[in-house]
Amino acid sequence: MNILVLDIGTTSMRGILYDQDGNELCQVSRLTPLIFIDNYIEQDPLVLKDRLTEIVRETAASFTVDAISVTAFRSAPALIDKDGKPLSNFIMWQDTRNKEICEQLEPMNPEIHQTVGARVNTVFTAAKISWFKEHLADAYRKACKALVVPDYLINVMTGAFTSETTYGSRTGVMNIHTLQYDEKMLRLYDLDLEKLPELRETGSIAGMTTAAFAETTGVRAGIPVITTGGDQQNSALGLGELDHSSLVINCGTGSFIISLADQPYLDNPAIICNTSAIPGKYVLEANVLASAAALNWLLKEIFPELWQDGHPDFGRFHAIAGTSAPGANGVRIVPLFQGCGSRDWNPNARASFTHLSLGSTRADLGRAMLEGIAAEIVRSVKALPAQSRDAARICIGGGLTKCELFDQILADMLGKTLIRYDDAQATAIGSFISASVTLGLYPDYRSAFTAARSGAKVYTYTPDMQNFSLYQDVVKDTEAVYEALKNG
């Protein structure tokens, strides 16, 4: 049986076809550009629909596709009518147009956190849908459902209006205890229950491919489409987070620090509690909103020769930034280009560069950026409960970890040994694991993980404890700068 995993990222979509043993048969990628309108960040649903069609058609032209699984970024809603026609663009997760709505609800944070597992914030979808209701009232009234990106694409393939609990965890209105929409939270956001899709357990079969989708793409009608849930949950699964002994740090556009729990953890409001890719489990998550995005900005502006065809040359960057000593000769960067994430949920925060002198070099800026990103991750790790902080196994993944200088800096700053798989497709592998268990190819998640990671090369980063001591000052310095300038 061949499973086509649709791995939908913020700016690209990939279709990766696996056989039932977890071997990759082919991969098809398409860019999915963002739309920037003033301070708004959007995506066009019809562009995503076209990219989906292209990926499935190209895959099906050469291989048999027996099932499709879907994983995606989690917090970008659009309004969709009863026929599946978009009535708006997607409001992206980085977009903060809903900031005033969130600010009005901040006095309710203690109750909101205890109910949904997170404080009110601009990333989650409820406040974005509330913005639709206020500013696009006619479209909201005509809409059948407000769907996030993966739910919309599942509708394109199957005609179903459905979601599942990992996306529900990111709405701000799903009760983390009952795993259903909460009436009081819906009232707080002034949302209508009938506008939200049905919630299913993660890993559920959302529907079967329709005859119309089959005719357009060449796949068979009636094959199962499995909703395996959010990208970060699947990435954690693909990196081997199967029990409490592991901690995952996934460094992509933003960074996500994730550990596993058997029940909701609500003791620290800096930690987000969501459902896991493993049914019945929960993930404890902290985030840094700009990681690779922050480094990419620096490369484009300061190291333009290292930015080729939309991709960074990490090897050459490492060679340059590596000439700056640990501590970046005193230069400090707080990389909060998109605001501060879960540890303070401060959308007004912005990046800052301090302690520059006429002797500072662009190599210092390069290392300082990596150290600043790592410092944000360290602060997020420290917010986790002791069991998570003391995990015996810490696995890193995501595009930023292709920069080995960053990997070593993070190991040094944490004072912990880190491991990284050579295959960067952690999210897709997690989605394959989930789908293969749902389809009965493997009896459990550990068996599926073992098969999918068979023969994988692993890199290990051991901390330099002398640098660990030095880096405590970097963590303190960057936090002091943040506190001094936290309101932008």
Average pLDDT over residues 14-41: 95
Is residue 182 within 8 A of residue 106, CB to CB? The reply is no
Q: Which long-range contacts (CB under 8 A, 24 or more apart) does 32-39 make?
A: 32/8, 34/10, 34/92, 35/89, 39/96, 39/97
488 pLDDT above the threshold of 60: no
The total number of residues shown for the chain amounts to 488
52 pLDDT above the threshold of 80: yes
pLDDT at position 39, please?
Answer: 85
pTM: 0.90
Per-residue pLDDT tens digits for 404-414: 999 999 999 99
3-state secondary structure 342-355: CCCCECCCCCEEEC
CB crowding 260-287: b at 16 or more within 10 Å, else e: bbeebbbebbbbbbbbbbbbebbbbbbb
Average pLDDT over residues 479-487: 89
Mean pLDDT rounded to a whole number for the chain = 95
487 pLDDT above the threshold of 70: no
Per-residue pLDDT tens digits for 221-233: 999 999 999 999 9
pLDDT at position 253, please?
Answer: 85
Average pLDDT over residues 168-181: 98
Per-residue pLDDT tens digits for 353-394: 999 999 999 999 999 999 999 999 999 999 999 889 889 899
pLDDT band at 338 (very low <50, low <70, confident <90, very high): confident
Is residue 75 within 8 A of residue 148, CB to CB? The reply is yes
Per-residue pLDDT tens digits for 294-306: 999 999 999 999 9
154 pLDDT above the threshold of 70: yes
Q: For the domain bounded by 3-233, which CATH number is listed?
A: 3.30.420.40
272 pLDDT above the threshold of 70: yes
pLDDT band at 146 (very low <50, low <70, confident <90, very high): very high
Q: Is 179 left (phi over 0), alpha (psi -120 to 50) or beta?
A: left
pLDDT at position 337, please?
Answer: 92
Is residue 91 within 8 A of residue 145, CB to CB? The reply is no
Q: Beta-carbon neighbour count of residue 452 at 10 Å? A: 25
Structure token digits, residue 62: 């050469």
